[in-house]
Structure 1
Amino acid sequence: MHVRLPPTLAPAEAARDDAPADAFVFDSGAVVLWGMTWEQERALIDVVRGFARGEPSARAPRSLLSRLFASAPVLAGPEPAVVAKAEQTEAMDWVYRTDGNRTSELRRDVIRVARADEQSDDEVLDRLAFSYALMQTVKLAHVEEQVDTTLDAMRGMSVQLARTGRANFISYVQLNQHIGQVMQLREFNLDSDIVETPDYFWEDSAREEMYQRLHRELEITPRSAMLNRKLSLTQESLQNVNAVIVNVHSTRLEANILYFVAFEACLSAAHLFGFLPEGGLKLLLVDLLYGSGG
């Protein structure tokens, strides 16, 4: 969904010489804002957040946005089916080109937007192309934060295992929960919003280079690879701890079986040599060992 504030509504300090301000709301939950004041940004994000949580006041986002921004048109696009989990914010500088060139570009970490005629959508589409890369980096940053939080919670396990040689610091259920968390985090590889070039550029291949340039600048592919390496190492460590726990349980089970066999052999030998009365004491000892069923 795209919202555009005309120059009469856009703030002078943010609108860059009476230029309109834009907001792109992606159905993944990311919002990319161009040239708005802080108050307008918060108002728009509050609407999106409420809609993501399913609040009744946000079931008609277009009418709410129109009220918030007076006569600002809410342009074509499906209702955003977003899910509110956490808020992640990224910022990047942008300016208008002053050299008369009609092609937007990225130079020295600054997005340089080419001006377009009022009747043309070129400027909006250029901003949209850059916004796709910005959407991907903010989603990836959210995953990175989740991974770091999860790894911090698990970091002490290897230290304790090396120090004590035992895995009694974690239960089997807790270990399986950690393994499940890592598996969930690895599912970001299935999120086409992060790992794939948006389908939009099949229809607008001329602007794909703008997207790709910013995509490379934000190092989205190397960051994804680094996340996978971190998660692979963590999963391997968890599997090693799991192997230790399984080995301990197996050893205990084997020892208990040997104890039961040895105890049964002692009872049989005592009975054989007449040290036990016929059945009585043996039955009592077995009841004490296994627990009375009565």
Structure 2
Amino acid sequence: MKRIPRKKRSLTAAEQGKTSDQSFLVVSYATCEAYDLEALSSDLRSGGLYRPVFEQDAEVLQEMEIVHMRATYQIEEEPREIFFFPEGSVVFWNVSVLERLSVLKTIRAHETGSYPESMVLEEVEILHYLNAPNVNKTRFNNGKIQFCGKTGSALEKYTFSNALALSVKLGIWEAMLSEYADSIEFIHDDMKKRARIRISRSEVLQKMGALFALRHGINLGTDLLDTPDFYWDREDLEVLYRKTCNNLSITQRTRVMNEKLNHCCELMELLGTHLNDLHHVRLELMIIALIMIEVIFELLHFFAR
């Protein structure tokens, strides 16, 4: 089951941590189902390399349980910043690939439901941003972020990070659904050939559970279907958020994911019904066999008398 094609990311540039112009990179990963943000923040602070961002906007992010940290030691004028989201996504601003991998290794100890490392490194979202003092307000055009002034505010960077975190999380779910579809492909062949279906009722139940976990994450556990309440009274940020989500095709990808999930659910429900019918038939045959055995014993007793 193939995922919907969308704009390819500049993976080579991201891996090298370089850009061809004066722009910087913002890179997002989804590493697990959830973070222990309190322990994670404490661990990073104790190392002395990162510190929480204490700005006017920082209180708003803390209320939403978002951890926003900045590198303690400045290498260049543009700061190196990291946003950690409680649902298991992390967004790096102007952080080199070696530093990103080091942080990803550190946060492993504070994860719940970690994803395979190969999947984490493959499903990456990348955007370019630059500081443009000549523009009158921050904007998102042609897939590139342009901040008004020397650097973006905490809330502006959070807005773009929020969209990137959702997109990379959706990318992980797309990969998981693709693997799931591959794992049940043999069922179609068995059904077409009218062969014995090589799956048990318990395995069907397990696979149904995996499907509903995906549906719950997409439709109830995230803001993929609607704009978060945070933006309702922040129109400028809402515009940036919507433009970023549109660029990342989040709405379209979510719709396609739900359609694929519905197809898989219909298949598993049909299979579950079929296996239940077979189970009932076996029970009926066993009951008939027991009745026949009892009749045979009664006949033997009758003729013996």
| TM-score, structure 1 as length reference | 0.70
Q: Is the contact between residue 129 and residue 207 of structure 1 (CA under 8 Å) also seen in structure 2?
A: yes
1:277 aligns with 2:274: no
Query: 1: CA distance between counterparts of 2:297 and 2:87?
Result: 70
1:234 to 264, 274, 277: 264
Local SS of the residue matching 1:164: coil
Q: Which has the larger radius of gyration?
A: 1
Specify the alignment match of 1:183 in structure 2. Answer: 212
Query: 2: CA distance between counterparts of 1:3 and 1:209?
Result: 25
- 1:139-198 deviation line (CA, Å, top 9, x unaligned): 11111111111121111112112213433x112211211122112221111113544433
Specify the alignment match of 1:78 in structure 2. Answer: none
- 1:224-254 deviation line (CA, Å, top 9, x unaligned): 1111111111111111112222222222332
Q: Is the contact between residue 71 and residue 81 of structure 2 (CA under 8 Å) also seen in structure 1?
A: yes
- Aligned pair in 2 of structure 1 residues 254, 34: CA closer, same or farther (>3 Å)? same
Query: 2: CA distance between counterparts of 1:134 and 1:50?
Result: 23
Structural mapping, 1:24-103, within 5 Å: 24-52=83-111, 84-86=114-116, 88=120, 89-96=123-130, 98=132, 100-103=134-137
Query: 2: CA distance between counterparts of 1:49 and 1:203?
Result: 36
Specify the alignment match of 1:222 in structure 2. Answer: 252
Q: Is the contact between residue 130 and residue 211 of structure 1 (CA under 8 Å) also seen in structure 2?
A: yes
Query: 1: CA distance between counterparts of 2:300 and 2:114?
Result: 71
Local SS of the residue matching 1:192: coil
Structural mapping, 1:68-147, within 5 Å: 84-86=114-116, 88=120, 89-96=123-130, 98=132, 100-116=134-150, 122-147=152-177
C-alpha RMSD of matched pairs (Å): 2.6
Specify the alignment match of 1:9 in structure 2. Answer: 74
2:201 to 161, 164, 172: 172
Query: 2: CA distance between counterparts of 1:50 and 1:263?
Result: 62
- Aligned pair in 2 of structure 1 residues 277, 135: CA closer, same or farther (>3 Å)? same
Deviation at 1:36, TM superposition (A): 1.7
Which segment drifts farther, 105-114 or 207-216?
105-114
- Aligned pair in 2 of structure 1 residues 31, 264: CA closer, same or farther (>3 Å)? closer
Q: Is the contact between residue 132 and residue 198 of structure 1 (CA under 8 Å) also seen in structure 2?
A: no
Q: Is the contact between residue 271 and residue 277 of structure 1 (CA under 8 Å) also seen in structure 2?
A: yes
- 1:33-62 deviation line (CA, Å, top 9, x unaligned): 111222222233333333336xxxxxxxxx
Higher RCO (Cα < 8 Å, 6 or more apart)? 2
Query: 1: CA distance between counterparts of 2:88 and 2:289?
Result: 60
- Aligned pair in 2 of structure 1 residues 19, 263: CA closer, same or farther (>3 Å)? closer
Q: Is the contact between residue 131 and residue 146 of structure 2 (CA under 8 Å) also seen in structure 1?
A: yes
Which segment drifts farther, 250-259 or 263-272?
263-272
| TM-score, structure 2 as length reference | 0.68
Between structures 1 and 2, the one with greater strand share: 2
> For structure 2, which runs of at least 5 residues remain unmatched after alignment?
1-66
2:191 to 161, 169, 172: 161
Residue 98 of structure 2 aligns with an amino acid whose one-letter code is E
Query: 1: CA distance between counterparts of 2:294 and 2:71?
Result: 86
Specify the alignment match of 1:67 in structure 2. Answer: none
Q: Is the contact between residue 105 and residue 113 of structure 1 (CA under 8 Å) also seen in structure 2?
A: yes
Between structures 1 and 2, the one with greater helix share: 1
4+ residue runs over 6 A deviation? none
1:20 aligns with 2:79: yes
